[in-house]
Chain A
């Protein structure tokens, strides 16, 4: 099986990661201080990451 690198930057990867977190099965919000920051399964992310 060959493996070809997809054109994915780290930022794009982070966005893809955020999409993964948007799934209800892994979403667990914790408290955060900044309104635009949320804690999901231990990840500290921006709300916009989850959009």
Chain B
């Protein structure tokens, strides 16, 4: 069932056990998992089926620290959420990403990759992925890894008809949960804002915010402030340990005549460090996207030249009447250390529904800088040794200059804020994604990430959502 407004929904005699906030990949996956068990669930989606400026304005806020994206641009408040603008890159966090790194404080998850493995086939079905391949070591330090360029499933488009036909899922559009009410043990209701006004309180047995890696923190911070700690009783870490994947061009490469790795149809290959290399160098995980410029013969030579002598290459390009790039570009994306000072806080300015907007404080630290530089060196050494090619590290990186401001900056990957853990002072949810100290409040999405790894988060989000759906289903059945 799909309702266009909360008023319309109220006319239906539907009594859900679970209320999900947010119809993105996490929310829709949890709802479908519960519905498959016959558990009635309602999804409150603040936006509609279209992106609008009016809806996006609810996401406006401040950023400070390192340059970051406009908060109304980096996410989408609509059915399907951020799946509507993701590029489709898929990979689940590696087993070592879940393990603590002794050289990086506050790392490690209370679950492991083996806890997500049972859901991989269903993740592949949802995201329409081929079989996942194992990593291929090309040296002791570097592994050739599979990062799948998928069809970029738009969850709204894919599941809209299924939800419309469902009798166990009610999707309510244009309905904004502004606040959860709680008594320090249970959430007792959700305050609804719809059609430009306060629409009262909604009650269910269980509540699952899935509003994204920024909004989950915002909703819980505001709810907790209003209820004097009644929603997140252990709130020291709430909004903190927020992470992104810094993304910059790390360098260029010339490619050997017969490289020892194969490129896919998009002329790209991906590389990451071994856990042993990370430990030896005291760095974080990273991914290097090796993008080959698909030229042959003389064009390839000029493209190679573009790496080393751009002005000469420009002249040669003119002679060839071609615009040529360097032979291969190395785009670097890497893990960010979880630090408490990277955080979301509420500010005095409010949105149209009266909910405080946020200030996102995000800054990259020394270890991120070192990871980028040592990562490129490590990759360059492997490329030379394995005769894949020769790597040149970008000037800004090797010269210790500021991060470029005209590049990607980051991946639009919003992680942390309600991170998973066992230490009540450094986490918000437990291994089952349940908020510490609360009986009926769970969190879905990348805000529960304890660490970020290096790969795009959507695949892991979906795996975690399937696992959470199964857990809630068992709890309700018990």
Contacts and interface: CB of A to CB of B under 8 A. Distances in A.
Interface of A: 1, 3, 5-6, 8-11, 13-14, 17, 20, 30, 32-34, 36-37, 39, 41-46, 49
A10 to B, nearest CB: 4
B256 A43 contact: no
Contact of A10 (B301, B377, B381): B301
Contact of A43 (B304, B305, B391): B391
A5 to B, nearest CB: 4
Contact of A5 (B251, B297, B305, B381): B297
Interface string B301-339: 100110010000000100110000001000000000000
Residues of B contacting A: mostly: helix
Contact of B301 (A8, A33, A43, A44): A8
Nearest to A28: B398
B298 A14 contact: no
Contacts of A45: 384, 390
Contact of A44 (B298, B384, B394): B384
Interface in B362-387: 377, 380-381, 383-385
B300 interface: yes
A13 B301 contact: yes
Contacts of A17: 254, 304, 308, 390
Contacts of A32: 377, 381
Contact of A42 (B298, B305, B392): B392
A44 B380 contact: yes
Contacts of A1: 319
A9 B265 CA distance: 23
- In order of increasing CB-CB distance, the 7 nearest A-B pairs are A44-B380, A5-B298, A10-B257, A3-B319, A11-B257, A42-B393, A43-B392
Residue from A20, A37, A42 with most neighbouring chain B CB atoms (10 Å):
A42
16 contacts: A3-B316, A3-B320, A6-B301, A10-B255, A17-B308, A30-B398, A33-B377, A33-B381, A34-B381, A36-B385, A37-B380, A37-B381, A37-B384, A42-B393, A43-B380, A44-B390
